Structure 1
Amino acid sequence: MDEKKATFGLQVISVNGIFYDDRAEEIILPLEDGEIALLANHEEMILGISDGVIKIKTPDGKWIYGAVSLGSVQVANNRCIVIVNTVERPEDIDKRRAQEAYEFAMEHLLQKQSIKEFKKSQAGLARALTRLKTASKYSN
């Protein structure tokens, strides 16, 4: 007997448009202190998302990956809405540009900066590392 897994409505949206808008079996999101996996009928909540990799399991069992930057997720009524600043598929990441951004951020972290500039450099470094890791680990 072929059992069908429960699904939920999922939207992943960034300033550049819609990354995913369909049913899903599971989504794994990066948080400041680790990851969280959300399944169908999850309790209602709102959480902050950190730079990292989102992993979406589609109803047919296929996994979709994306490098995300800061954002939030809202879960209610068997729907999940993820809103992030940026999201990129691994195959769309320009590894050379990501490496350059990493080197730029590292250089700036070593320089004397205001607290605001330091935080901005840290955020740039986190984004660059996420993009590099995602492109390396999840590209075909």
Structure 2
Amino acid sequence: MSKLTIEVVTPERVVYSGEATMVIARGVEGDVGIMPNHMPLVTPLKIAPVRIKTVGDKETVIAVSGGFMEVRGTQVAILAESAELPEDIDVERAKQSKGRAEQRLNEKHPDLDIRRAERALQRAISRLEATKNI
């Protein structure tokens, strides 16, 4: 069985490096599933979890905040603004962040940076979704 080599990198560190049978990410055009020997592709990523399926139906989920994914044959590189493994996420803090962002968006204060509040909400939701499997 063919495998992918995947690396998830942020400006600070390599978050994940390993082999996979499939990678599922949310690009700007929608979800995309990558299997070995996929056609070459470069796509911007949305703030959403990336799912990495490994041998034996195991799955690693990584909360990714934007960036790009590049696919070449059996190589997948995700260059993310930020990325967190579930065990690195403070669930309580993510819940509080989600609540704060929702509250800001509901208040509709005239000086509110709506885009920033929406991105904060998306990041908190992505973190919470990534921790569901631990």
Partner of 1:74: 70
Partner of 1:21: 17
Which consecutive unaligned segments of at least 5 residues does structure 2 have? none
**Aligned pair 1:99/2:95, yes or no?**
yes
Distance 1:36 1:113 in 2: 37
The one-letter amino acid of 2:74's match is: N
Partner of 1:7: 3
TM-score, normalised relative to structure 1 = 0.84
Q: Which has the larger radius of gyration?
A: 1
Deviation at residue 111 of structure 1 after TM alignment: 2.9
Deviation at residue 19 of structure 1 after TM alignment: 1.7
The 10-residue stretch of structure 1 (12-21 or 119-128) with the greater mean CA deviation from structure 2: 12-21
The 10-residue stretch of structure 1 (105-114 or 82-91) with the greater mean CA deviation from structure 2: 105-114
The one-letter amino acid of 2:89's match is: I
The 10-residue stretch of structure 1 (40-49 or 76-85) with the greater mean CA deviation from structure 2: 76-85
Deviation at residue 67 of structure 1 after TM alignment: 1.1
Cα RMSD of the aligned pairs, angstroms, is 1.8
Following superposition, which runs of at least 4 residues in structure 1 exceed 4 angstroms of deviation? none
Distance 1:103 1:65 in 2: 23
Which consecutive unaligned segments of at least 5 residues does structure 1 have? none
Identity %: 24
Partner of 1:111: 108
TM-score, normalised relative to structure 2 = 0.87
**Aligned pair 1:132/2:124, yes or no?**
no
Q: How many residues align?
A: 133
